[in-house]
Amino acid sequence: MYSRLLKEPIKLNKSFFLFGPRGTGKTTWLKASFPQGLYLDLLGFDLYNNLLARPDRLENLIPPGFKDYIILDEIQKVPDLLNEVHRLIEKHRYKFVLTGSSARSLRKKGVNLLAGRALNYRMHPLTTIELGNDFDLERALRFGHLPSIPSEPDPRQFLKSYVQTYLREEVLQEGLTRNIGSFTRFLETASFSQGSVLNTSEVAREAGLERMRVESYFSILEDLLLATRLPVFTRRAKRRMVTHPKFYFFDVGIFRTLRPMGPLDSPEEAEGPSLETLCFQELKAINDYYNFQYELYYWRTNNGVEVDFILYGSKGIIAFEIKRSSRLTKKDLKGLKAFKINFPEARLYLLYGGKREEFEGEINILPVVKALRDLPDILDNIG
């Protein structure tokens, strides 16, 4: 098992939520971090039925005077339990860990999130830092960083199973959509939007679905933390900007599994978005684990000048451009240079497939593997 970067909740000695997509290692981390905790898995049929019928039965499952953490895994299965958790925190000062796929989906069900009595944390796929010497860029770009992947003898089959049992069947079981055929068709079509400016109408047309249904499907993916619609950075804009977000599935391996490939498809068509996706999921993870509190965006003008990722927060503005190629041209620097003119206070990084660390004016050019390993320092403004 890999040591995870998520450390802060262990130090706080108070209740917290831990959100993240299924399969990112929440349960494994909790059992290792709180070995004396009381673990209650709501995916278990008997426990689920018991607490669904009577949420107040939760108190009977806790030994009197229990002082360690009470872990309720997959809290979204019985959202009414949150009221009971709230009551028990007030009555007995119990400490809870509540895991789930999304705070947003819980709010949509009209439940409270303990009125600020519990902090929110996120678990992401493994990062380059967590993998250490086991990190392999080419393998990461094919299979992604779900924690089960490194030990899987057949990672491709594991990812197919994940897509089948979670992205399709689990969504159906949750009642989020009743038409699994159209949702499956949507997932495949959406994979062609990975790392691109999202045009919902075009996705709907290509999938043969109504636009409003496609919009609801994108919302389902976001609710379950399975995908992100990355907004455009428009602060202090001096040029006309595009208004549509970019789209990313949460993990490279999931994207590559959903993206159909045949004899007419070149590997390069998927490799560019794969590297962007890897960098994006790592930026999100490091930002969350180290509590840097950046907001993430991309930047694109109406005439097509673009920067892949913009991080904006109290530590400053950082612009990242991602290139798969090992050789760079002046065209590759165009977006960052344009962004610098508009935002002279920004720090600029170009991550590429080469091996040399260089500077081009104020642009830091870094091999992508080195950059991913140094991300905490880069985002902390000491890189």
Q: How confident is the model over 38-89, as pLDDT tens digits? A: 999 998 999 999 999 999 999 999 998 899 999 999 888 888 898 899 899 9
Residue 319 parent element (H or E): strand 316-322
For residue 176, is pLDDT > 70?
no
Residues of the chain with CATH 3.40.50.300: 8-122
Tell how far CA 92 is from the center of its chain: 34
Q: How confident is the model at residue 302 (pLDDT cuts 50, 70, 90)?
A: confident
Residue 182 parent element (H or E): helix 180-191
Q: Are strands 69-73 and 227-230 parallel, antiparallel or unpaired?
A: unpaired
| Residues 58, 51 contacting (CB under 8 angstroms) | yes
Cβ-based neighbours of 32, under 8 Å, separated by 6 or more: 1
Residue 184 is predicted with a pLDDT of 86
Tell how far CA 228 is from the center of its chain: 7
Which of 359, 357, 315 lies closest to 336, judged by CA?
359
Residue 115 is predicted with a pLDDT of 63
Q: How far apart are CA 201 and CA 215, in angstroms?
A: 9
Q: Say yes or no: domain 8-122 is CATH 3.40.50.300.
A: yes
Q: How far apart are CA 66 and CA 194, in angstroms?
A: 47
Entry pTM: 0.92
Residue 29 is predicted with a pLDDT of 94
Cβ-based neighbours of 6, under 8 Å, separated by 6 or more: 29, 121, 123, 289
